[in-house]
Amino acid sequence: MTDTAQGSPAPTTLPLAARSDFVDRLRSGSEYVVIPLIAVAISAVLFSMFLLVLGKDPVEFFSLLWRGGFGTAFSWQNSLLRAAPLILTALCVALPARAGLVIIGGEGALVLGGLFAAMIALPLKNALPPVVLMPLMAIMAMAAGGFWIGLVGIMRHARGVNETIASLLMSYIAIAIMNFLVEGPLRDPASANKPSTGPIGEGNMVTAIPGTDVHWGLAAGIILAVILWIVIDRTTYGFALRVTGGNARAAKAQGLPVGTLMVSCCAIAGACAGLAGYFEVAAIHGKANASLIAGYGFTGILVAFLARHNPIVIVPVAILFGGIAAAGGLIQRRMGLPDASVLLFQSLIFVVLLISETLYGRLRIFQPRTEAERT
Amino acid sequence: MSFKEMDRRTLLKSAAAGIVGVGAAGLPLRAFAAAPTIGIVYVGPRDDFGWNQAHAVAAKALKSVPGVKVVEEENVPETVAVQKSMESMINLDGANLIFATSFGYFDPHMLEMAKKYPKVEFRHAAGLWTKDKHPGNAGSYYGYLNQGHYVNGVAAGVVSKTGKLGFIAAKPIPTVLLNINSFLLGARKSNPKATVQVIFTGDWSLPVREAEAANALADAGCDVITCHVDSPKVVIETAERRGLLTAGHNASQAPLAPKGFITGAEYKWETIYKDFAALIAKGEKLPNYVRGGIDKDYIANTAYGAGASEAARKAADAATADLKANKPYVVGPLKDNKGNEVVPAGKSIDNYDVALEQTSYLVEGVVGSIT
């Protein structure tokens, strides 16, 4: 006898066990795609209402958003180029997050990474060939970033210092160190009104991916995202990290080296942001200066949270953010909207997505069917 | 068969793409002679009461010129983002002249774009372009704001009762040092005993520290405050609240200080922008390097506010007239504030001398240190 109050019609045919399994998996798997999409749609509707209040045309806004971000080959490259550093800085947030640590100091690791890449290049640029020096610069950048965020991990583990605040404050220290060195000992005398280090040399610059304007930092970001996804999802190290993130005390009771795990994942995270700094210096600026402080580290936090700290998902989310930033200029120019309007749209997406988190596990359609439903 | 067809299709496709491509590449050139489309990029918000606003005011004036189309983008950081913004203006809006208004846009960003788009003209708001080093379709335009600070100083020296003036500065780099020195020299012209106390905040936009500095200067007995930071808003407002007199920087801050505003050093970029638009309309080549001060109307002082007494206005007007006639104001004998001679007696530094742009010292009478 079926319960009529349940309301759901009983399936007419009884699927094979394997097929039923697949349907259940699809149902619960699609939760992670459908809910964010609904959230983005809701934020688009909210933002359209805002535009209507301002007397602007939402259709124009979204068509410009599409055109400026993804509508042409030029727009795609524009978006990808802007996404490149975001993938790396988002990884800096995502990895520790899986171990239960909220690290928001990627900006500092990026700045230090860029600074150290330039610092090692300056004395050696004439002594070493680019084949040797370029990887050396990247390694220095990763080491610097890794050390910086690794310190945050050590403070957290050994002294119980809140890692969120510590990493944020550490990034101000990193910026101060860079300003001090760039305006003092490392200053190129030719850079009078914009203090910078000397150039790293034309030959040591990272080139664009052939056929595009996008530098290799994008490829590096995607490769690292894939590697870190494998590490988190498919290795014992990743499993231990996730256990630590779930409950550090229980992990400790199980004999997991919680301290080593925390510090090492912070260091890997910092290395990712440091690498972003390397590409900023070696692919874009050709020297280290205050232009490194461009907020990539902070936008990366947003990207990581929207991707639910899943390294693979970070890639498309970063490209989405790159596209919104790329289209922002076109929207300003064509619609006469201030830059803040694009930021508002971004933040609406962020807020609505965070709110939508509460929906996970609450919508029946995404739940595996109960035995009663199956029969 | 089908393979052949595919081939033909691809060929047609690429031919079509080629035609579109050539057409798009030709577009800026054709548009150039007819109607100028001018792209302006700002590093901050257009209503910052400072550097960006000065450019935005000029952009607005430029829009009123018939036949000129202006496209603007604000809050563009000094990263690859600015390259892409310029490129987007060129590719999607058909811009044929770009004004890059922030110092850090020049190298490498604007230079890269100038190399990539040789038919588009690029101009940068600072004196960085060098003939042999940089592309011929790039250039610099520059205003001597120090002259405006000199006039500020002349007026401030008259109205100050304590003879102690305060200057809140971002970084000890040449342009900033020159403005501080000019303010002091102006003040000493009116009051030979005047001093300028300087506080460096360390960066271009640190509102909290700027407010603290304004309060500290007020507590130290300064009764006139001016500044060289990106947005003078906080400094002027804080000083106004403390009942002090203020002198402005970059754009007009007169609305922020109805009681204490004296005058301000203001850029008049519209002079340059309109000149350039006219040259384009005539189909003439743009100059690579323009520079000037009050003499060329690139710089002007804000209309006097309530803080300017009759005597101060008279003194400032006289100083402005001298600068219009291009009379030098950095006159020896002059020492720096460590006692070293910088201009010997009987000598002076011409208003257009590049030595001014390389200022690396604070003159005697300025209380403060670069390091």
Least confident interval from A46-50, A236-240, B126-130: B126-130
Task: pLDDT band for B114, please (50, 70, 90 cuts).
Answer: very high
Q: Comparing A14-18, A85-89, B234-238, B314-318, which segment has the lowest mean pLDDT?
A: A14-18
Q: Residue A193 and residue B93: Cβ atoms within 8 Å?
A: no
Cβ of residue B80 closer than 8 Å to a chain A Cβ: yes
Name A211's Cβ contacts closer than 8 Å, sequence gap at least 6.
none
Which residues on A lie below 8 Å from B91 (Cβ)?
72, 74
Query: Which residues does chain A have within 8 Å of residue B80's beta carbon, measured at their own beta carbons?
Result: 81-82, 284
Over residues B208-254, the pLDDT tens digits come to: 999 999 999 999 999 999 999 999 999 999 999 999 999 999 999 99
Beta-bridge partner residues of B196: B165, B366
Per-chain mean pLDDT for chain B:
90
Q: Are B250 and B51 in contact (CB under 8 A)?
A: yes
Interfacial A residues in 26-85 facing B (CB < 8 Å)? 67-68, 72, 74-75, 78, 81-82
Which residues are within 8 A (CB) of A266 and not within 5 positions of it... i.e. 6 or more apart? A96, A101, A103, A149, A150, A152, A153, A156, A163
pLDDT over 60 (residue B126) = yes
Q: Is pLDDT at B38 greater than 50 in this prediction?
A: yes
**In this complex, which of B74, B79, B104 lies closest to A339 when CB atoms are compared?**
B74
- Select the residue of A183, A192, A285 nearest B174 (Cβ to Cβ): A192
Cβ distance B171 to A195 less than 8 Å, yes or no, reads: yes
> Is A82 in Cβ contact with B173 (below 8 Å)?
no
For B349, phi then psi, to 5°, come to -105, 125
Q: Do B73 and A333 touch (CB under 8 A)?
A: yes
CA distance A336 to chain B (A): 8
How far is it, in rounded angstroms, from Cα A60 to Cα B150? 49
Per DSSP, the three-state class of B221 is coil
Is B81's CB within 8 Å of A289's CB?
Answer: no
Q: Please state, in angstroms and as integers, the Cα–Cα distance from residue B213 to each residue in B216, B218, B256, following that order.
A: 5, 8, 18
Grade residue B15 by pLDDT with cuts at 50, 70 and 90. very low
Report the pLDDT averaged over residues A21-40. Answer: 81
- Does residue A15 or residue B67 have the better pLDDT? B67
Helix/strand/coil for B79: coil
Q: Ramachandran region of residue B246, left (φ > 0), alpha (ψ -120 to 50) or beta?
A: beta
What was the pLDDT predicted at A31? 79
Contact B108 A192 (CB under 8 A): no
Phi-psi category of residue B117: left, alpha or beta, with phi > 0 → left and psi -120 to 50 → alpha? beta
Average pLDDT, chain A: 90
Of the partner residues B45, B71, B173, the one whose CB lies closest to the CB of residue A192: B173
Chain A residue numbers with beta carbons less than 8 Å from the beta carbon of B72 are 332-333
Q: How many CA within 13 A on the CB side of residue B229? A: 31
Chain A residues whose beta carbon lies within 8 Å of the beta carbon of residue B203:
179
Q: How many CB atoms lie within 10 A of CB B163?
A: 18
Residue B191 exposed, middle or buried by CB count within 10 Å (0-12, 13-18, 19+): middle
Question: How much of chain B, in percent, has pLDDT values that exceed 90?
Answer: 79
Whether residue B29 has pLDDT greater than 50: no
Interface contact flag, B74 A68, Cβ < 8 Å: no
A191-219 burial code (b ≥16 CB/10 A, e <16) = bbbbbbbbbbbeebbbeeeeeebbbbbbe
- A286 chain-B contacts, CB cut-off 8 A: 108
Query: What average pLDDT score do residues A254-273 get?
Result: 96
Query: Residue A363 pLDDT more than 70?
Result: yes
Given this model, what pLDDT does residue A16 score?
58
A140-152 burial string, b = 16+ CB within 10 Å, else e?
bbbbbbbbbbbbb
Does residue A194 belong to the interface with chain B, where contact is any CB pair within 8 Å? yes
Query: How does residue B95 score in pLDDT terms, banded at 50, 70 and 90?
Result: very high
Q: Using CB atoms and an 8 Å cut-off, which of residues 185-214 of chain B contact chain A?
A: 202-203
The string of DSSP codes covering B95-144 is -SEEEE-SGGGIIIIIHHHHHH-TTSEEEESSS---TTTS-TTEEEEEE-
Helix (H) or strand (E) holding B248: strand B245-250
For an interface test with B, the pick among A339, A342, A343, A346 (most B C-beta atoms closer than 10 Å) comes out as: A339
Nearest to A332 among B72, B84, B358 (CB): B72
With an 8 Å Cβ cutoff, are B73 and A338 in contact?
A: no
Check CB contact of B69 with chain A, cutoff 8 Å.
Answer: no
Q: Is the pLDDT of residue A197 over 80?
A: yes
Q: Higher model confidence: residue B283 or residue A166? A: A166
Query: pLDDT-based confidence at B5, cuts 50/70/90?
Result: very low
Six-digit token string for B50: 């400072």
Nearest CB partner across the interface for A81, out of B75, B84, B202: B84
Amino acid of residue B271: T
Give the bridge partners for B250, in sequence order. Answer: B266
**Cα A201–chain centre separation:** 29
| Å between B174 CA and nearest CA of chain A | 6
Cα torsion B183, B103, A183, B213 to 10°: value is 40
Question: What is the predicted pLDDT for the residue at A114?
Answer: 97
CB contact under 8 A, B84 and A195: no
pLDDT of res. A214: 93
Specify the range with the lowest mean pLDDT, choosing from A28-42, A199-213, B67-81, B315-329: A28-42
> With bands split at pLDDT 50, 70 and 90, how would you rate the model's confidence at B2?
very low
In chain B, the percentage of residues whose pLDDT exceeds 70 is 91
Has residue B12 got a pLDDT over 60?
no
Smallest Cα distance from A337 to chain B, Å: 10
Please state the rounded mean pLDDT for residues A37-45. 91
Whole-angstrom distance, CA of residue B262 vs CA of residue B268: 18
A164 shares contact with chain B (CB less than 8 Å): no
Q: What's the whole-model pTM score?
A: 0.82
Decide which of B169 and A306 is more confident: B169
**Residue-level pLDDT at A13:** 55
Label residue B347 left, alpha or beta by phi (over 0 means left) and psi (-120 to 50 means alpha): beta
Judge whether residue B311 has pLDDT over 50: yes
User: Contacts of residue A81 in chain B, CB cutoff 8 Å?
Assistant: 80, 84
Closest CB to B104: pick one of A74, A194, A295: A194
For the record, the structure tokens of B368 come out as: 């403060």
Nearest CA in chain A to B77: A294
Q: Which residue type is seen at B211?
A: A
Please report the pLDDT score of residue A160 as a whole number. Answer: 93
Amino acid at B16: A
Determine the pLDDT at residue B34. 54
pLDDT on residue A65 = 93
Q: Tell me if A291 and B79 make a contact (CB, 8 A cut-off).
A: yes
- When mean pLDDT is compared across A188-202, A274-288, B141-155, the lowest value belongs to A188-202
Asked if the model's pLDDT at residue A288 lies above 50, the reply is yes
How many Å from the N-terminal Cα to the C-terminal Cα in chain A? 11
Q: Specify the amino acid at residue A298.
A: F
Q: pLDDT tens digits for A94-123?
A: 999 999 999 999 999 999 999 999 999 999
Closest partner residue to A81 (CB to CB) among B80, B91, B104 is B80
Sign of CA dihedral A254, A256, A258, A262: negative
Query: Which residue, chain included where needed, has tokens 């933040």?
Result: A347
Q: What is the CB neighbour count within 10 angstroms for residue B355? A: 12
Site from B14, B92, B175 to mutate, A interface, most A CB atoms within 10 angstroms: B92
pLDDT attached to residue B4: 43
Name the least confident of B121-130, B146-155, B190-199, B252-261.
B121-130
Q: pLDDT value at position A262?
A: 95
B108, A291: Cβ pair inside 8 Å?
A: no
| pLDDT of B19 strictly over 80 | no
> Measured between CA atoms, how close is B93 to chain A, in angstroms?
9
Euclidean distance between the first and final Cα of chain B, in Å?
78
pLDDT value at residue A372 = 67
Contacts of A346 in chain B (CB under 8 A): none
Task: Give the SS3 label for residue B271.
Answer: helix
If you count residue pairs, one on A and one on B, with CB atoms under 8 Å apart, how many are there? Answer: 79
Distance CA B63, CA B274 (A): 10
